[in-house]
Structure 1
Amino acid sequence: MEYQFRRSLFNFIDEDRDDVRSPTQISMESHPEMRELNLQFSHAVPYSPTRIRKQMAPPSPEPESPWTLSPLQTPSPSLLYHCIASLHRHEGHIYSIAVSKGVVFTGSDSNRIRAWRQPDCMERGYLKTNRGAVRAILAYGKTLFTAHKDHKIRVWNFTVSDGFRSKKISSLPRKSSFLLFPRTNTQQHRDFISCMAYYEAEGLLYTGSYDKTVKVWRVSDKKCVDSFVAHEDNINAILVNQDDGCVFTCSSDGSARIWRRLYRENSHTLTMILKFQPFPVHALALSSCFNYCFLYSGSSDGTINFWEKERSVSYRFNHGGFLQGHRFAVLCLVAIEKLIFSGSEDTTIRIWRREEGSCYHECLAVLDGHRGPVRCLAACLEMEKIVMGFLVYSASLDQTFKVWRVKVLPDEKICFDYLDRSDSRTNITEYETNPVLSPSWVEKKLQSNSFQY
């Protein structure tokens, strides 16, 4: 396949050793309040790490990043963004980000999990273990779950009222009571834990691993209540729909899968396989409300496929289309409200908006500031009167961690198409053999010329 011969940007990381080996740099900018919407704005200058004489030198401020209009020529620019912090630390790559209770957590190659204050990202403290390479972090309330190099999960409690304090309360799986046979615990993953998800209603923690399995942990008694082989290759992301308990997984085998829990048996059954293109799927995001539910999947070819759940009481999702814009693999996705944030191997972050009541999407902005693949993203809502705002946290394989403030301005409803309909890369006859699409949806696409890709 073409993607197998395309040179990956990951291969270029070692070619820019000056940036990767830069000493510790912390750049903080104070965010000016936006008093008027008709101010003059200019484009942000790409961030470049600054040389410092000594590794332990004090933070070196960089020029304040201006508010920036979307660089895309949209009919009506409706989004402003601003990089309010850019951090560079000598602790290896950052693999995971989690946000809860005003604290941002980052996991990296080191044995320290850093805690930062929202929104300025001043460091509040850290959690330390003797196992590094924290590939996955999940925060829920004042509980933090971290996955480590030894294929175990640590569970922490933290408080922020009187300074930042943390305490490790348990490990999953628990240590065996048979000290002579410490390695016979079959509940433990056999490879890196790449992703985690939490189902609040039942108190269940889901973990996906490179060993191709998903394990389900009951947090209350720290027991593994289910374990099943979910894919034919590495599992890269996992989600849980809090409305109905459905579990979504994606893998390097090129598919996303939907699982339903059998409550009386504590087991899970496969309900659908979503496979539209033969490319590894790296990321998932779920946008769910009372009357709609969209699933987004990011692939190694740079596209973002999206699937819409049928309105009837079922677990069936229909393919709605795909978003094009990234030049290389989409490595991370976040969905909040009607916005989708995507981080890519092409070093950029794109912000997409879905038009209400339809499947049409528009790309509002391209955040260009990293010098390496954007490995992970996190975002949270920030309302200001009539302006909807977001705080977006991004980490790249250039070993930088950035914080963006995004404001979505009020605008008229405009219908935007999310792809070039002249694109003929997908043959319409493939829908007949795609197990995702219902017969009625297939007939609708075949009879309509608007779906000629």
Structure 2
Amino acid sequence: MPRSDRAREYSWNKSEENSLVGSIVQEEGHIYSLAATNDLVFTGSDNNHIRVWKNLNEFSEFKSNSGLVKAIVICREDNNKVFTGHQDGKIRVWKTSHKNPRVYTRAGSLPALKDVLKKSVKPSNYVEVRRRRTALWIKHSDAVSCLSLVEDQGLLYSASWDRTVKVWRIHDLKCLESIKAHDDAVNSVVAAGSGEGLVFTGSAEGTVKVWKREVRGKRTTHSLVQTLLKQESAVTALVTSHVAVYSGSSDGAVNYWEMGEKKMLKHCGVFKKHRLAVLCLAAAGELVFSGAADKKICVWRREGRIHSCVSVLTGHTGPVKCLAVAAPSGEEDEDGRDGRLIVYSGSLDKSVKVWRVPCHHM
């Protein structure tokens, strides 16, 4: 990237601890989801559009026929394949063109049509999703609220308001398992890497659950190993860091857990600064970011087991719905050290804001 472009994108005032360095305004849709990779930012909105931004300028766009875009994940290892989760219960798959990286075409959906046709013949493949209503177990029957990728395992997890979490194999888009995870809408799913094989789910019923993944040949199964939280407030967001698991709630609180004895997670505390529901979380190093319905983003620094709010990022005029954190590639401070994190925040005010947060907070 030319130096002038980089300066335009990430220009910032060194006298400030945190700096708003740019803003993307999308007039025709409220932003419900975003994802960032390398120098691209993907945003999903309630008008079914997915837009791609480069250096804060629109780079590309593609659109589904229906379904507010509630979740976006990018598969870096497979030709930048993009998965989007929608209000209509569908997961759509998109790929970039080899000839033109600005062109995204729909490469399929989950479940694949051939699997739907194959499964629909057998009555035992239907499960009750509501009173007197059945559906194929491989299909979500309500909004897809969250997606999580485990690329080293070739797996995609989808959480839904239909109370299930489904497990998909990326290379052939096959549904491997459907987990009846909660008794109310599942708002968040986070799958850890291949190390411990743990998957975390959070629900409107106020619980956070831990699932253990076991892969035996072509079979993948998940078993419930721990319930971390039972509360009246809905669990609205989850994120994992290198040492902890964090959950955000509709009462504005953030709970966290660390791995304790016998490989069981132990509740280590709760912190709160938001007046309204925490809608999204992100983590990087010793920093945790919480975005909320009160239009604010809190930056928390972890020291031991104490979390201090070191900054509040303000500027959105609507609820902060989604967050992504990235380190600017190839950028260093003048003294040669890696300088600051880039934080993207998407809001129902139809904007994405780009912030620079010093790594010395970490």
TM-score of the two chains, using structure 1 as the length reference: 0.68
Q: Is 1:301–2:251 an aligned residue pair?
A: yes
Q: For this pair of structures, how many residues does the alignment match? A: 331
- Correspondence list, 1:145-184, <5 A: 145-158=83-96, 163-176=101-114, 178=117
Q: Is 1:129–2:64 an aligned residue pair?
A: yes
Q: How many angstroms does 1:388 deviate by?
A: 3.3
Is the strand fraction higher in 1 or 2?
Answer: 2
Q: How many angstroms does 1:250 deviate by?
A: 0.3
- Correspondence list, 1:34-113, <5 A: 41=15, 68=16, 80-113=17-50
Change (3 A) 1:188 1:276: closer
Q: How many angstroms does 1:159 deviate by?
A: 6.1
Match of 1:362 among 308, 311, 314: 308
- Which residue identity lines up with residue 56 of structure 2 in the other structure? C
Q: SS in structure 1 opposite 2:283? A: strand
Q: Is 1:258–2:210 an aligned residue pair?
A: yes
Check the 8 A contact 1:285/1:335 in 2, yes or no: yes
- Which residue identity lines up with residue 327 of structure 1 in the other structure? R
- Correspondence list, 1:19-418, <5 A: 31-32=10-11, 41=15, 68=16, 80-117=17-54, 120-141=55-76, 142-158=80-96, 163-176=101-114, 178=117, 185-242=136-193, 243-264=195-216, 265-275=219-229, 277-288=231-242, 293-310=243-260, 314=263, 316-355=264-303, 358-382=304-328, 384=332, 385-409=336-360
Q: How many angstroms does 1:154 deviate by?
A: 1.3
Change (3 A) 1:207 1:336: same
Change (3 A) 1:107 1:228: same
Partners of 2:140 and 2:163 in 1: CA distance? 9
Check the 8 A contact 1:95/1:134 in 2, yes or no: yes
Partners of 2:191 and 2:117 in 1: CA distance? 34
Partners of 2:249 and 2:298 in 1: CA distance? 14
CA deviation digits over 1:392-442, x for unaligned, max 9?
Answer: 11111222221112223479xxxxxxxxxxxxxxxxxxxxxxxxxxxxxxx
- Which residue identity lines up with residue 158 of structure 1 in the other structure? T
Partners of 1:294 and 1:121 in 2: CA distance? 32
- Which residue identity lines up with residue 354 of structure 1 in the other structure? R
Partners of 1:188 and 1:254 in 2: CA distance? 25
Change (3 A) 1:362 1:231: same
Check the 8 A contact 1:112/1:132 in 2, yes or no: no
Q: How many angstroms does 1:297 deviate by?
A: 0.5
TM-score of the two chains, using structure 2 as the length reference: 0.85
CA deviation digits over 1:108-159, x for unaligned, max 9?
Answer: 1113200001xx3111011222123111111121121011243221112226
Change (3 A) 1:387 1:140: same
Partners of 1:195 and 1:376 in 2: CA distance? 11
Check the 8 A contact 1:387/1:409 in 2, yes or no: no
Mind listing any 5+ residue stretches in structure 2 that lack a counterpart?
1-6, 122-133
Q: How many angstroms does 1:275 deviate by?
A: 1.2
Q: SS in structure 2 opposite 1:201? A: helix
Check the 8 A contact 1:349/1:368 in 2, yes or no: yes
Check the 8 A contact 2:31/2:349 in 1, yes or no: no
Change (3 A) 1:138 1:393: same
Partners of 1:401 and 1:371 in 2: CA distance? 11
Q: How many angstroms does 1:298 deviate by?
A: 0.5
Q: How many angstroms does 1:259 deviate by?
A: 0.2
- Which residue identity lines up with residue 190 of structure 2 in the other structure? L
- Which residue identity lines up with residue 94 of structure 1 in the other structure? I
Change (3 A) 1:83 1:317: same
CA deviation digits over 1:257-302, x for unaligned, max 9?
Answer: 00012322522110010115421110011012xxxx2000111111
Check the 8 A contact 2:189/2:200 in 1, yes or no: yes
Partners of 1:106 and 1:317 in 2: CA distance? 33
Higher-Rg member (1/2): 1
CA deviation digits over 1:237-273, x for unaligned, max 9?
Answer: 1101113221001011101100012322522110010
Partners of 1:253 and 1:128 in 2: CA distance? 33
Q: CA RMSD in A?
A: 2.4
Check the 8 A contact 2:46/2:67 in 1, yes or no: yes
Check the 8 A contact 2:274/2:292 in 1, yes or no: yes
